[in-house]
Amino acid sequence: MVTFFFLSSQIGDKWQPFDLSCFCVPKHYENDLEQVLIPHGIIQDRIERLARDIFQELGQGPLTALCVLKGGYKFFSDLMDKINQLNCNQGQKSIPVSIDFIRLKSYENDQSSGLIKIVGSDNLSSLKGRNVLIVEDIIDTGRTMKKLLNTLQQYEPKSVRVASLLVKRREDNNGDVCYMPEYAGFIVPDKFLVGYALDFNEYFRDLNHICVISQAGMKKYRK
């Protein structure tokens, strides 16, 4: 299954991103972005398919969907909507889904600090015996996810799976991904991406498309 996603949702280095002028972008970000890598509509279409795969594969029992804030909130919300639609329309079966939220911090500017702080983690004892789906925005070095998976083990969930909208190929890893989740939206090039809740120092979450930040944008919003 992982191989299938890897092949089908790969945004290769030769992928031609879209010119900004092809799409509506908030005026306040016009000079801060290079290109649109994944337009909002394509994001939605991909999430629809991920929801179907999750519904078919995890449909045997109740599920706890764990949103990694803040970057994962849009993906989480759209994924939950699409799973709910399947719950209402499939007739034969539906998955009871409870939701929970966690907040981690690992980045300053565009660099991983190597340290991961769990900022919010209440109610995690409720994960005991549950099938858990972690919903994350992007996996880069994979350190955040590995640390989170380790941390969650102490709460004794029945199973844990990961859905990440984006997974980055790393140049320092021979152009390969460092960690492949069970559900991957798009495999993306090693660039710093913003939009659809992904931020650069808290900016760009209010942008619908996934875009490549420009040098000017980095300079403007660098701390």
Q: Which residues bind ligand IMP (CB under 6 A)?
A: 71, 106-107, 112, 136-144, 192-194, 198
Nearer to ligand IMP, 34 or 85 (CB): 34
Nearer to ligand IMP, 73 or 192 (CB): 192
Rounded to the nearest whole angstrom, what is the least distance from the CB of residue 205 to ligand IMP in the complex? Answer: 10
Cα–Cα distance measured from residue 36 to residue 212, given in angstroms and rounded to the nearest whole number: 6
Query: Phi and psi (nearest 5°) for 87?
Result: -60, -35
DSSP assigned state of 151: H
Cα–Cα distance measured from residue 9 to residue 3, given in angstroms and rounded to the nearest whole number: 10
Q: Which residues are catalytic?
A: 140
Q: How would DSSP label each residue in 153-186?
A: HTT--SEEEEEEEEEEEEGGGTTEES---SEEEE
Nearer to ligand IMP, 52 or 147 (CB): 147
Rounded to the nearest whole angstrom, what is the least distance from the CB of residue 57 to ligand IMP in the complex? Answer: 23
